Amino acid sequence: MQRRRPRLLLVSPRHEFRNLWALKEMGRQMGRKVATTPLALPVLAALAPSTWEVRIVDEEMDEVPVRDSFDLVAFTTLSTNVERGYALARLFREAGIRVVMGGPYASTRTQEVLEHCDAVVVGEAEDLFGDLLSDVQNNRLQPVYQARSLPSPDRIPSPRWDLVDTRQVMALGVQVSRGCPHHCDFCLVHHLYGRRPRYRPLEAVLQEIRGLPGRFLSFVDDNLTARKDYARQLMAGLKPLEVQWSALASLEVTRDQDLLRDMAEAGCSSLVLGFESLTEEGLAEARKTQFRIDEYERAIEALHRAGIHCIGAFVLGFDSDGPEAYDAVREFARRNGLSYLMLNLLTVLEGTDLERRVTAEGRRIPLPPSFQNSLLPNKRGGRLPERETYDRFLDLLDHAYSWADLREKARRAFSFGGFRRAARVRPSLATKVSFSARLIRSYLLSRDPDKRGLFRDLYHMGRRGDVAMDQAAQFLMMAQGLRSYVDRLLARREELWGRYADALARVPPDAARPTRPGAGEAS
Ligand code: B12
């Protein structure tokens, strides 16, 4: 009798709280279940030998098949979804199925995670996953897998998107490099992936993009343009392809007008710049010393002139942040036409330098990991008490995403003429008609005069040729998606705080031990 193929299930558990920039509302408006889906799963699938039958489930999109039979179930974990992962793992293990966990949370809380599964993978999987699967087949699964060194970037495979229902995903992730030279206090990236960025061979990346089943991409690199020579070649390779994409980059890129122009022509529609703070004290706390605050305004304008939306990332809740820090971000955004704000409340994440520092000072609030969602404070001792921090943060979201602010900011961002060029990916006529009908209905029937006014402003700018109509339409969709997230969050303000207070009351007093990725714990 022929032996059946071993079966592997790869799962990303759903998140307890959704992040604004998970853009689920935007995905829904575009008729998709999600805006993005974790890249780790199709990458892991590509690392499995072809003898394995592999299935992928992102629980934000689909049910986890807890009654089916598998030889191994593998979970990718962030702080915000690990507890859901534990609950699912219990169901599989009760059915006698082995479970492995990896990803940022599992890599930094190895021993804790091991209590909920049979094996943990610390760090990147490229040099480990094949051996792990062979150990499963030979019944000799080890509790911890950890590579001695970071994998060579040419070992990073092209993801198995054929295993994902990509029609339900708005933008597909692409990774060009791993690692970040900076060492911001609150960030895990340099601990997990090292400080020397490793670049995949350019041709492999371009070939992957040419073969993607979608035209909207999201580069997940921490700084796509860190190596200028590579970035220029990448843009040259992207130009002939009809793709539209967003990415994260360092402010440095805005000093290079030629590269910015190349990026816009290659389909870059938005770029995340990590400003983090508008105060010297905040930046010093974060150890973010590479740029000066007085460069920020010029950087945003450079992007808008190039026809690229700036997504400004800010962290609030530094120890030195008083009420004025929140007002300053709103005012700065308004002045600079910064509609897209990635606002995060400073969150002490496992394995970071911030965690070690704050824990040593006895100031860490040991919340369950799912609460570490960048909305709720998890350290004490700053200028503002926790409840005020939370309220000011939610108020900032409310005000910065008010229709009045969005209207004013759109006027400025579109005033430079950068967005006259049509968006790179042209929607079909049917899509155009249905989206336009929905936008007209929702904006013109709104009771908010500024929401109606924003629509009218953009319509007139479009008629005058100051902005391409499809750029205007994409902006209106995005603004609507972001605002509806904020509305839902505000409606849950007290409920969320109540759950936070309950969680605090249940935390055991010894739960605040500091860790480093895999350090010591694994042995
Ligand atoms: C893109 C991104 C996002 C996107 C996610 C898009 C999506 N659906 O995936 C968005 C913007 C929505 C997002 C949101 C958040 N993010 Co984010 N994000 C990233 C980023 C930049 C890239 C992730 C990625 O795709 N990497 C590429 C894949 C291939 O790498 P990987 O996941 O690490 O997988 C490799 C290994 O870890 C390992 N592995 C992973 N899982 C498993 C499982 C098994 C079984 C095995 C064997 C191996 C394995 O193998 C893979 C290949 O080597 C990372 C930073 C980074 N450089 O990775 C932060 C990062 C993951 N985010 C982080 C955080 C904190 C968040 C937020 C809480 C808030 C915030 N401030 O950003 C929210 C939470 C999500 C939510 N509730 O919605 C932290 C996570 C820390 C933690 N302990 O959880 C990171 C590490 C950044 C940081 N600040 O340090 N994020």
pLDDT at 519: 37
pLDDT at 511: 53
Mean pLDDT score, 333-354: 96
Ligand 1 centroid from CA 158, angstroms: 17
pLDDT at 521: 37
Q: How many CB atoms lie within 10 A of CB 262?
A: 19
Residues 233, 307: Cα–Cα separation, whole Å: 20
Q: What percent of the chain has pLDDT over 70?
A: 96
Our measurement of the distance from residue 365's CA atom to the centroid of its chain's CA atoms, rounded to an integer in Å, reads: 24
pLDDT at 292: 85
pLDDT tens digit string along 509-520? 655 444 444 433
pLDDT at 335: 97
Ligand 1 centroid from CA 365, angstroms: 22
List the single range of 247-251, 337-341, 413-417, 510-514 with lowest mean pLDDT.
510-514
Mean pLDDT score, 46-72: 97
Nearest to 132 by CA among 140, 90, 124: 140
Confidence of residue 281 (pLDDT cuts 50, 70, 90): very high
CA distances from 332 to 255, 295, 297, 501, 516 (A): 20, 13, 9, 32, 36
Nearest to 311 by CA among 366, 270, 282: 270
pLDDT at 523: 25
pLDDT tens digit string along 161-220? 999 999 999 999 999 999 998 888 999 999 999 999 999 999 999 999 999 999 999 999
pLDDT tens digit string along 379-422? 999 999 999 999 999 999 999 999 999 999 999 999 999 999 98
Kindly state the DSSP code that residue 379 receives in the 8-state scheme: B
Does the reported pTM lie above 0.75? Answer: yes
SS (H, E, C) 180-215: CCCCCCCCCHHHHHCCCCEECCHHHHHHHHHCCCCC
What is the DSSP pairing of strand 340-345 with strand 309-316?
A: parallel
Q: What's the half-sphere exposure (Cβ side, CA atoms, 13 Å) at 313?
A: 18
Query: Would you kindly state where each structural domain of the chain is located, as residue ranges?
Result: 7-146
Residues 110, 114: Cα–Cα separation, whole Å: 6
The fold of the 7-146 domain, in CATH, is Rossmann fold (3.40.50)
Nearest to 213 by CA among 271, 270, 156, 160: 160
Top mutation candidate among 44, 184, 221 for ligand 1, by most atoms within 8 Å of CB: 44
Ligand 1 centroid from CA 79, angstroms: 10
Q: SS3 for 344? A: strand
pLDDT tens digit string along 477-487? 999 999 999 99
pLDDT at 30: 81
Atom of ligand 1 nearest to the CA of 188: 90
Top mutation candidate among 176, 188, 370 for ligand 1, by most atoms within 8 Å of CB: 188
pLDDT at 141: 97
CA distances from 64 to 116, 132, 158, 388 (A): 17, 22, 24, 38
